[in-house]
Amino acid sequence: MASREIIDERGRLWRVWDVHPESLERRIADDPLLRPAIERRRKPQTRIRISNPAMAGGWLAFDGGGERRRVAPIPDRWEEMNDAALLALLASAESIGRPRRLIE
């Protein structure tokens, strides 16, 4: 998972990273430490529900502290984009609201 940081026109710092839903399935993880020692399930299952089919292949996540956004699908070679191109993606990104806290 690659990540970047950009600063918008208001001076707010945004963290950007790619999310791949298939990497959330621990049985197919590349890291053997993430795989369970004994697997009881017989078929692959994603543990998260992705309601938007456009996001099934992954998305870019933007976190600006008090605001989160995402863009799907993940643009090719987004890690190599200049800051202006990432800011354009940020402007077109779907807002997903404020981060939720477990304890208020």
pLDDT for position 27: 47
* Model confidence at 60: pLDDT above 80: yes
Residue 34 forms part of a structural domain: no
Cβ atoms of residues 29 and 35 within 8 Å:
yes
Whose CA is closest to 20, among 90, 63, 95, 70? 70
Residue 68 forms part of a structural domain: yes
Residue 73 forms part of a structural domain: yes
Indicate the average pLDDT of the chain. Answer: 79
Range of the domain at 91: 1-24+53-98
AA letter at 87: L
* Model confidence at 11: pLDDT above 70: yes
Percent of the chain with pLDDT over 70: 63
Residue 90 forms part of a structural domain: yes
Residue 92 forms part of a structural domain: yes
Token pair 């890291």 is found at: 31
Q: In what order do the strands lie in the sheet with 3-7?
A: 3-7, 13-19, 59-63, 68-71, 94-97
Provide the number of structural domains found in the chain: 1
Residues 19-32: what's their mean pLDDT?
58
Token pair 């950009």 is found at: 6
At residue 24, φ and ψ (nearest 5 deg) are -80, -15
Residue 103 forms part of a structural domain: no
Residue 47 forms part of a structural domain: no
Residue 30 forms part of a structural domain: no
2-6, 35-39, 60-64, 73-77: which has the minimum mean pLDDT?
35-39
> What is the tens place of the pLDDT at every residue in 29-42?
555 555 556 666 66
